[in-house]
Structure 1
Amino acid sequence: MALSNKSTMIELELSSPLFFFCLVPLLFLFFINCRTSPKTNRSSSSSNKLTTKLPTSYPLLGSFLTIVKNRDRSVQWTSDLVRSTPTSTFILHRAFGQRSVITANPANVQHILKTHFHIYQKGDIFRTTLKDLLGDGIFNTDGDNWKFQRQVSSHEFNTKSLRKFIETVVDAELSNRLIPILATAAASKTVLDFQDILQRFAFDNICKIAFGYDPAYLLPSLPDTEFAVAFEEAVRLSSQRFISVAPLVWKIKRVLNIGSEKKLAEAISHIREFAEQIIKEKKQELSEKLSLDSVDLLSRFLSSGQFDDDLVTDIVISFLLAGRDTTSAALTWFFWLLSGNRDVETDILEEIREMSEGTVYDEVKDMVYTHASLCESMRLYPPVPIDGKQAESDDVLPDGTALKKGMRVSYHPYAMGRLEKLWGKDWAQFRPGRWLEKNPAGAAAGKWSFVARDSYTYPVFQAGPRICLGKEMAFLQMKRVVAGVLRRFRVIPAVDDGVEPVFVAYLTSKMKGGFPVRIEERAGRGGA
C-alpha cells in the first residue's frame, strides 16, 4: 500500500509568518470564547445527523480561530463540513484571503487524480515538509523524477520473484513470531497493545522486503530496536510539522537545531546512516555474485544501475514508510470493528475453515468475504484519511468550484466513506455485504462475488496514475494475517463496554493510546 500525500493538516496551515505573531494578542479572547460558546455535535459511528456549521470567515483572520479550535480532530471536523454541503465540497478561508478546497465529491476526485492529473501535484508545502525524511523518493516528488521512479518501481512490483519473496517473508513472520506471541498472551491472560504488535509485525516485514534486513522488532520481549525507534520518532516528528500553527515555527527550530527539530534531525541521521551501511554491504554482496539471487527491493534497484546511492536510499525509505504504517493501520481498525460484529467474524471463520491449515496465497486470494470485510473497514477508517494536492494552474472542478494557481485542494476518503449519497442510510454500519452479491447460476451458483466500487468513490488506495503499486500485495498480506490469527484466536478489546477508540491522524490513521486487547485461544482446530 503506497504512501500518498498524507498531510492531514496541510490545507489548514498558515502561509504568513507575520500572521502568526499578529494573532498572539487575540488568542486569549478566542480561548474564552471556546469555553463559553455552544459546541456542535460530532458525527459518530452511530449517527447520521450533522449539525456542523461552516466556519465563519473574518476579514484578515479568515477561519483561523475555528481551525485552531478543531486542530485535535481536524479529520472529523473537516469530514463533518464536507458532508454538510450540497456538493460535498467547501472552501476553507485562511489568512489574508488565502483559500484551500476540501472535497468528498467523486467527480472532483476523478478530475484531480486522473483527468487533470498534470495540474494537481504534491506541491512545495508537502515536499518541503517531508524533504528531510523522504528526500526525493517516489512519494515526495513530481514530474519527470516521479515518472521515472514509478516506471522502474512498477516493473519490480510486477515480478513473480518479488511476490514470492513477499509471501515467504509474511508467512515466516506470522508463523514464527506473531502467532507464538499471541499464544503466549492467551495462555498468560496478558493484555497486549495490538496496534503496537501489528506495527512491529509490519515493520519487520517491510524491512526484509525493502532492505533484506531483519530488525527483529516483533520478539517476545518487544524490544526497542534502535532503527525502529528512530524511524517511529522521525515519522511522528515529521507529522507534527503539518499541524504546526505556522510553518515558520518548525523552520526556525530547524535552523537553530533546537527542540523537536533537533530530535528529528538526530532520528533521520540515524536512519540514513543505517541505510547507507546497508547499501554499502548490499553493493559488496552484489559485486561478488554473478547473478542476482537477492530479491529485496534494495538489491533490485541497485542492480538496475539507474539510481545513485542517495536516491536509492530515498526510494527505499519511502517504501519502508508506506509498508509499515498503512497495512498495520488497516488491520488495527479491522480487528476493532470485528470485535463488535460477531456475525461478521462468524462468516469470516466459515470462509477460513474452507481452506487448508497451511493456507497458501492462492487460497487467501479467494477469501471473498474477508476481502469485502477489509474494504468495509477501510471505508470507515482509511489508513490515509485525507490527501492534498496543489493546483499548478487555474482550474474549475466539475462541481463548479474555482481554483487559482497555487491553491491547495484535498480529497477526503474518511468523509467519503460516511456520505449517505454514496453508501446509503446505513453508511454507519459495518456491513461487508454491501460489497458482495450472490452468483445466480453456473458452477459458482450461490457463492459470493466481490463487487468493487470505482476508485474515485473509494480512493483508499489513491487512483489514476498514482494508484498504489502495492495494493494487491497489501490485500494478500492482510488476508493472510486475518486467516492466521482468527483461525486460532479471538481478539477481545480490553476496555469497558461502550468505550470506543479515539481516531487520530499522523501520516496515517491510528488509535490514540493504542489498542489494548486480550487474546483467547479458540476451542479445537479451526475454532468455534
Structure 2
Amino acid sequence: MVDLQFSTLLFWSIIFALLFLILRNPSCSTSTKAPTSYPIFGSIFTIWKNKERRVQWISDIVTSTPTLTFTLHRPFGHRQMFTANAANVQHMLKSHFYNYPKGDIFRNTLRDFLGDGIFNADGDNWKFQRQVSSHQFNTRSLRKFVETVVDSELSDRLVPILKNAAANNIVLDLQDILQRFAFDNICKIAFGYDPAYLLPSLPEAKFAVVFDKALRLISERFNSNIPFVWKFKRALCIGKERELKITIEQVREFAIDVIREKKQELKKNASLESEDLLSRFLSSGHSDEDFVTDVVISFILAGRDTTSAALTWFFWLLFNHPGVESEILKEIREMNSEEPIYDEVKNMVYTHASLCEAMRLYPPVPVDTKWAANDDVLPDGTVIKKGTRISYHPYAMGRVEKVWGEDWAEFRPGRWLEWTETTRKWSFVGRDSYTYPVFQAGPRICLGKDMAFLQMKRVAAGVLRRFKVVPADKSMEPVYVSDFTSKMKGGFLVKIEERVDP
C-alpha cells in the first residue's frame, strides 16, 4: 500500500514538475516551431497554454513550415496533422476523397447531437443524403423562397432595430443581432418555423437558447484534448455530459414536434406548396422522423453562425477601410431595384469580392478535420498512416504568403477583381476552392454557398444603404475565437448612424 501511495505521489510530482517547467517557458506561446512532444503526454502542456488562441497558434506553426504541413502530438500517442497546402487539400477533398472521410472519432463525438445527418455522415449514407439535398437546393422555387425569407427578415426586423438604435443612440452587440437574424432565417428555410428571435425586445426564444447551449457543450466535447474525460462523464451521466444529454433531448423533441405538425399540415392539404426544406423532404417521401430530424438539425447548424460570423468581421473591416466602404456604397446605389433579386446580388461584384476577402482573413469555419481510412502519401511527401486525423486549415491558408503575396495581412478586395476596359466594370476573379476552401471543396462542397452569398449581400446592401456601423470603441482590436464556427470574442459592440446621402 505504501509503495502504491509513493508511486502515485511520484507520478503526480513528475507531472506537475513538467507542467511547471513548460508553462514558465515564455517561448511556448510565441514559437512558430512545432512544440516539444513528451512521452505519454505529447505536447499537451503547450496545447493547454495556447488553448485561448489555438487557431492562431496552429496557423503560425503551419505557415512557417516549408511544406505547410506539421504533426501535433497529443496525449497517449495520438497524432493530428495540420495542413495549409492546397495540393494536399485537393488530394484529400477530391482525388482521394474516399480515403478521407469524417471518420469514426468525428462521427462518434458528434452523433448525440447531429445523429447521422449529412454533416456527420460518411459513405453510402452521406451519398444518399447529398443526392436528395442537392436536388432540393437546386430548385428555383427554393431560391425564391430564400429570397423572400431574407428580405422579410431584413425589412421587418433588422432595419427597424437598427433605425431605433440610431435614433436613440443605443449600443448594440451587432454579432448577437446578426446571429439572431441568421437563426430566424435558417429556421424558416429549414423548418418553415419562425422562432422570432430577432424582435425589438431581443427575446430568449426557447429553441434558440437550447440549440445554442447544445452547440456550446458539444463544442467543448469536440475540442477536448483528453477524450477519455468526456467519455467517462457520459458513461456516468454526470457534469456537463448530463447537461448536454438533457439539452440535446430538448432540441430533438422540439424538432420532432415541428416535423409532426408539418406532416399533419401536409396531410390536411396535399396541394400545399412545399417551400421550406422540411416540407420538401416530407413531400418527396422521406418521412422517417429520425432521418429528417438529423438532416434539418444539420442544416440549422450549417446556416446558424456561418453567415453571421462572416458579416460581423465584414462590418468591422469596412469601418477600418473607408475606401472599401465607399466603393461598396457606390455599387449599392447603382443597383437596379427592378431586377430580380438573384440577378441584382449577382451584379454586386465589388461587394462579393469584399466578402470573400473578409472570409479569407476570418473564415467562419477555420479548421476541418478528416480521418485517413488507409495509408497514403500526400503530394508534399508527408506520409499518412491509417487512422491519422488530418485537418486542413482555412484560417492558415488565407495567410500563406506564396499564395496571397507579401500583403496577405491587408484587407484588399482588389485581389479578387479585374478591371475590364470594354465594359468599364470590375469582374470577379475567384480562386479555386482548394486554395480557398472556406466553403469546403470537392464532392462535399457547401450546398448553401449561393444561398449564403445571397443573404450576405442583401444584408450588406440593406444595412449600408441606410446606416453606418461604428464600433462603440473605435480603437478596439477584436479577438478571433472559434468553436465550430468563428466569433468575435466578447461580441461586436457598435453604434448605428443614419447615413446622410450626399
1:404 lines up with 2:392 in the alignment: no
1:269 lines up with 2:249 in the alignment: yes
How far 1:22 sits from its partner (Å)? 11
| Cα deviation code 1:96-129 (max 9, x no counterpart) | 4432211000000000000000100101111111
1:503 aligns with one of 477, 480, 494: 480
Is the alpha carbon distance of 1:263 and 1:209 closer, same or farther for their aligned partners in structure 2, counting shifts above 3 Å? same
Is the alpha carbon distance of 1:144 and 1:35 closer, same or farther for their aligned partners in structure 2, counting shifts above 3 Å? closer
Equivalent residues in 2 for 1:369-388, closer than 5 Å: 369-388=350-369
Equivalent residues in 2 for 1:30-429, closer than 5 Å: 30-34=18-22, 36-39=24-27, 52-356=32-336, 360-429=341-410
Give the structure 2 partner of residue 18 of structure 1. none
Q: Which moved more, 1:254-263 or 1:428-437?
A: 254-263
Paired with 1:341 and 1:41, the residues of 2 have a C-alpha distance of: 31
Give the structure 2 partner of residue 17 of structure 1. none
Report which structure shows greater RCO (CA 8 Å, sep ≥6). Answer: 1
Give the structure 2 partner of residue 513 of structure 1. 490
Q: Is the 8 A contact 1:413 1:458 kept in 2?
A: yes
1:28 lines up with 2:8 in the alignment: no
Paired with 1:161 and 1:25, the residues of 2 have a C-alpha distance of: 66
What letter corresponds to residue 482 of structure 1 in structure 2?
A
Is the alpha carbon distance of 1:287 and 1:183 closer, same or farther for their aligned partners in structure 2, counting shifts above 3 Å? same
How far 1:494 sits from its partner (Å)? 1.1
What letter corresponds to residue 481 of structure 2 in structure 1?
V
Paired with 1:342 and 1:24, the residues of 2 have a C-alpha distance of: 56
How far 1:205 sits from its partner (Å)? 0.4
Instruction: Tell me the secondary structure at the aligned position of residue 149 of structure 1.
Output: helix
Q: Which moved more, 1:306-315 or 1:383-392?
A: 306-315
Paired with 1:367 and 1:222, the residues of 2 have a C-alpha distance of: 31
Equivalent residues in 2 for 1:436-515, closer than 5 Å: 436-441=417-422, 444=423, 446-497=424-475, 499-515=476-492
How far 1:366 sits from its partner (Å)? 0.6
What letter corresponds to residue 482 of structure 2 in structure 1?
A
Paired with 1:22 and 1:84, the residues of 2 have a C-alpha distance of: 38
Paired with 1:223 and 1:390, the residues of 2 have a C-alpha distance of: 41
How far 1:292 sits from its partner (Å)? 3.9
Q: What is the number of residues matched between the two proteins?
A: 493
Q: Which moved more, 1:294-303 or 1:91-100?
A: 91-100
Q: Is the 8 A contact 1:40 1:52 kept in 2?
A: no
What letter corresponds to residue 377 of structure 2 in structure 1?
V
Structure 2 residue runs of 5 or longer lacking an equivalent are 1-8
Please, what is the CA RMSD of the aligned residues?
Answer: 1.7
Paired with 1:403 and 1:285, the residues of 2 have a C-alpha distance of: 52
| Cα deviation code 1:360-405 (max 9, x no counterpart) | 3321111000000000000000000011000000000000000111
Paired with 1:33 and 1:339, the residues of 2 have a C-alpha distance of: 43
Paired with 2:388 and 2:161, the residues of 1 have a C-alpha distance of: 48
Paired with 1:209 and 1:141, the residues of 2 have a C-alpha distance of: 22
How far 1:250 sits from its partner (Å)? 1.3
Is the alpha carbon distance of 1:110 and 1:307 closer, same or farther for their aligned partners in structure 2, counting shifts above 3 Å? farther
Paired with 2:357 and 2:155, the residues of 1 have a C-alpha distance of: 27
Q: Which moved more, 1:147-156 or 1:249-258?
A: 249-258
Give the structure 1 partner of residue 5 of structure 2. none
Is the alpha carbon distance of 1:235 and 1:24 closer, same or farther for their aligned partners in structure 2, counting shifts above 3 Å? farther
Instruction: Tell me the secondary structure at the aligned position of residue 250 of structure 1.
Output: helix
Q: Is the 8 A contact 1:71 1:243 kept in 2?
A: no
Q: Is the 8 A contact 1:101 1:408 kept in 2?
A: yes
How far 1:356 sits from its partner (Å)? 4.1
How far 1:341 sits from its partner (Å)? 0.6
How far 1:67 sits from its partner (Å)? 1.6
What letter corresponds to residue 449 of structure 1 in structure 2?
S
| Cα deviation code 1:163-219 (max 9, x no counterpart) | 000000000000000000000000111110001000000000001001101000000
Paired with 2:14 and 2:464, the residues of 1 have a C-alpha distance of: 54
Paired with 1:358 and 1:329, the residues of 2 have a C-alpha distance of: 30
Paired with 1:155 and 1:71, the residues of 2 have a C-alpha distance of: 41
Identity %: 69
Q: Is the 8 A contact 1:254 1:262 kept in 2?
A: yes
How far 1:34 sits from its partner (Å)? 4.8
What letter corresponds to residue 493 of structure 2 in structure 1?
P
Q: Is the 8 A contact 1:82 1:89 kept in 2?
A: yes
Paired with 2:406 and 2:25, the residues of 1 have a C-alpha distance of: 31
Q: Is the 8 A contact 1:185 1:519 kept in 2?
A: yes
Is the alpha carbon distance of 1:459 and 1:354 closer, same or farther for their aligned partners in structure 2, counting shifts above 3 Å? same
Q: Is the 8 A contact 1:202 1:323 kept in 2?
A: yes
Paired with 2:73 and 2:19, the residues of 1 have a C-alpha distance of: 20
Is the alpha carbon distance of 1:496 and 1:344 closer, same or farther for their aligned partners in structure 2, counting shifts above 3 Å? closer
How far 1:319 sits from its partner (Å)? 0.2
What letter corresponds to residue 490 of structure 2 in structure 1?
G
Instruction: Tell me the secondary structure at the aligned position of residue 190 of structure 2.
Output: helix
Q: Is the 8 A contact 2:337 2:344 kept in 1?
A: no
Is the alpha carbon distance of 1:40 and 1:348 closer, same or farther for their aligned partners in structure 2, counting shifts above 3 Å? farther
| Cα deviation code 1:454-510 (max 9, x no counterpart) | 00100000000000001011101100000000000011111251x311111111001
How far 1:294 sits from its partner (Å)? 2.9
How far 1:33 sits from its partner (Å)? 2.9
TM-score (ref. length: structure 2):
0.95
TM-score (ref. length: structure 1):
0.91
How far 1:25 sits from its partner (Å)? 4.5
Q: Is the 8 A contact 1:102 1:412 kept in 2?
A: yes
Is the alpha carbon distance of 1:85 and 1:163 closer, same or farther for their aligned partners in structure 2, counting shifts above 3 Å? same
| Cα deviation code 1:111-170 (max 9, x no counterpart) | 000000010010111111111111010000100000000000000000011000000000
Paired with 1:40 and 1:405, the residues of 2 have a C-alpha distance of: 30
How far 1:288 sits from its partner (Å)? 1.5
Is the alpha carbon distance of 1:466 and 1:305 closer, same or farther for their aligned partners in structure 2, counting shifts above 3 Å? same
